[in-house]
Amino acid sequence: MRLVLARYVKGAQLNINRDIKELGSKNANPKMRGFWEFRSHPPREETRLFGFFARTGAFVATDFQPRGKFTSQAVWDAQRVNCKARWDALTNGAPFAVVPWPVTTKDQLNTYIGI
């Protein structure tokens, strides 16, 4: 995860859906809109860093979990609810970035990460 985050912080290459993913975009699920994960890669235990973008380049992490925990859609949904509650506590309910959406192209990703 450190390697992926280092690339993000330095403005280096980040690959959509390999390194970072907007969790509502694959099936256009509005309940997950604006909810993001950074992804670490095997063979070490795969992990996910969840959070929201306050604005371009400003990712606010709200939780860090092993990928193996997510065994059903219900677990994903609960994770989104928990992370949103943490976001609200951190920001006093401020809005997070949700445009453009869905995020399926490199250009759309760059709008969030600011490359």
Partner 1 sequence: MKKIAHLPVLSEEQRDDAALRAQDLAWSLLAGLFDQYAATQKLTYEKLGARIKRSKSHVQRWLSSPFNMSLKSLGLLAEALDAELVITLEPRSAKRTSCGHPAERGAFPALPGSDDPGEQTLHGGEAASAPADGSSLQIVMA
Assigned token pair, 4:
């992926």
d(CA 24, CA 35): 7
Identity of the residue, 80 or 103, whose beta carbon is nearer to partner 1 in the bound complex: 103
Any contact of residue 1 with partner 1 (CB under 8 A)? no
d(CA 80, CA 51): 9
Identity of the residue, 55 or 69, whose beta carbon is nearer to partner 1 in the bound complex: 55
Among 64, 98, 102, 108, binds partner 1 (CB under 8 A): 98
d(CA 62, CA 52): 8
Any contact of residue 106 with partner 1 (CB under 8 A)? yes
Any contact of residue 32 with partner 1 (CB under 8 A)? no
Identity of the residue, 77 or 95, whose beta carbon is nearer to partner 1 in the bound complex: 95
Is residue 103 within 8 A of residue 109, CB to CB? The reply is yes
